[in-house]
Amino acid sequence: MSTSLHHVHPLVDGIKWVPGGQSFFGAGINSSIHVLMYGYYGLAAFGPKIQKFLWWKKYLTIIQMIQFHVTIGHAGYSLYTGCPFPAWMQWALIGYAVTFIILFGNFYYQTYRRTPRYANKAAKSVTNGISTATNGYNKLEEVEENGKKQQKKGRAKKE
């Protein structure tokens, strides 16, 4: 799934770094969070045997949103105390962080909170060529075939 978040984040990251201790705070937090995030993606790449232990994906998004709130607090505090770092850069950073709060918040809502459109339809799975699998694998699921309930396990059919 490609969202505007995936396109804006890397483009802006390349132009935001300036010299000074004020920049180090945000870069340090961001780097730490990316270590966790890419650790998650590295583990997920091992496939379904490892993926079942990766229940904490949505918490990475929450941690990233907390990071942006902390960044706003840090920049605001610097403005309040008269830090010699350029004020326009502090305001730009606040605007930048607010943008990411909106983008990550939308991503979180769309991924973890919103009810998919198809969930309101019949709750039963049937073997008619439509699969409820993700990443090509089904967990053990109950399906109805010819009026009889059966347990079915295996790889989803490719469409």
Measured CA angle at 67 (ends 66, 69), to 5 deg? 65
Domain boundaries, the chain: 21-114, 121-155
The token duo for 16 is 């935001």
Q: For residues 84 and 21, what is the distance between their CA atoms, to the nearest angstrom?
A: 11
Question: Considering only CA atoms, which of 59, 83, 71 is closest in space to residue 30?
Answer: 71
pTM over the 0.75 mark: no
List pLDDT tens digits, range 47-65: 999 988 999 899 999 999 9
- Reported as a single tens digit per residue, the pLDDT across 99-154 is 999 999 999 999 999 887 765 555 454 455 555 555 555 555 555 666 666 655 55
Report the distance separating Cα 140 and Cα 150, nearest Å: 10
